[in-house]
Homo-oligomer: A and B are copies of this chain.
């Protein structure tokens, strides 16, 4: 992790950002001064569950996975954050220790913003505040759906759903593969199952001509069938 000299206009923390567009000129200046832009290699930790944090991150580039660690050390991935997303604000606002860890999945650049600034913005900028509550509410809605999903659907259904979701969220490479390339273990930790189960189901999907597999590269060749398995229509 090293601080880079990326200049402001290259970052996505700008006046077009859905959240930061609500800032006044002075507020934006303040953030621009205070933010620390940093590069991170795959595997490095931004923050760790149980620790106090003193700021939050805006993702400029790359992918960060946010996860909780279960009792036996097994990760449960809560979300993958990409460009434009902000993470780590939860513990800043609720003044609790972090309830998740954040680790780099694809080499990333982040802007770190001190927590006091966030608190001041919530207090003083109504439009920013409203936008932020809307964001958190959406995350909450997503979490509630996920609870219902995990509680009521089979691993097979959830895996199909995740594949569709990864495509819609992160898009495709030139060669039609899912842009985000995850290990089998990471897939398992999203779905909430054992690594071996993911492997078995992926090869079932492959046999059924729903996907093609090339190492970590996955191509969805029958998206409709996957959606049907996932009950997405």
**Residues of A that sit less than 8 Å from B by CB:** 68, 70-72, 74, 76, 78, 89-91, 93-96, 99-100, 119, 122-124, 126-127, 129-130, 132-134, 136-141, 143-148, 150-153, 192-193, 231
Min Cβ gap A219→B in Å is 27
Residues of B close to A134: CB separation below 8 A: 93-95
- Are A140 and B140 CB-contacts (below 8 A) given A147-B150, A152-B76? yes
Which applies to chain A's interface (DSSP): helix, strand, loop or mixed?
helix
| CB-nearest residue of chain B to A157 | B71
Asked whether B93 lies within 8 Å of A152 as measured between CB atoms, the reply is no
Asked whether B140 lies within 8 Å of A90 as measured between CB atoms, the reply is yes
- Are A144 and B100 CB-contacts (below 8 A) given A132-B133, A137-B136? yes
Min Cβ gap A111→B in Å is 20
Question: Within the oligomer, what is the number of copies of this chain?
Answer: 2
CA distance A26 to B78 in the complex (A): 41
**Which of the residues B132, B143, B152, B192 comes within 8 Å of A140, measured between beta carbons?**
B143
**Which of the residues B96, B129, B141 comes within 8 Å of A99, measured between beta carbons?**
B141
| CB-nearest residue of chain B to A135 | B94
**Which of the residues B74, B99, B136 comes within 8 Å of A144, measured between beta carbons?**
B99
- Are A140 and B151 CB-contacts (below 8 A) given A123-B127, A130-B93? no
Asked whether A124 lies within 8 Å of B126 as measured between CB atoms, the reply is yes
| CB-nearest residue of chain B to A129 | B129
Asked whether A192 lies within 8 Å of B150 as measured between CB atoms, the reply is yes
Residues of B close to A148: CB separation below 8 A: 68, 70, 76
Asked whether B94 lies within 8 Å of A151 as measured between CB atoms, the reply is no
Asked whether A78 lies within 8 Å of B144 as measured between CB atoms, the reply is yes
Residues of B close to A144: CB separation below 8 A: 68, 78, 99-100, 143
Residues of B close to A192: CB separation below 8 A: 147, 150-152
CA distance A174 to B13 in the complex (A): 57
Residues of B close to A129: CB separation below 8 A: 122-123, 126, 129, 133
Extra contacts besides A96-B141, A119-B130 (14): CB < 8 Å: A70-B148, A70-B153, A90-B137, A91-B137, A99-B141, A99-B145, A100-B144, A122-B130, A124-B126, A132-B133, A133-B133, A143-B147, A151-B192, A151-B193
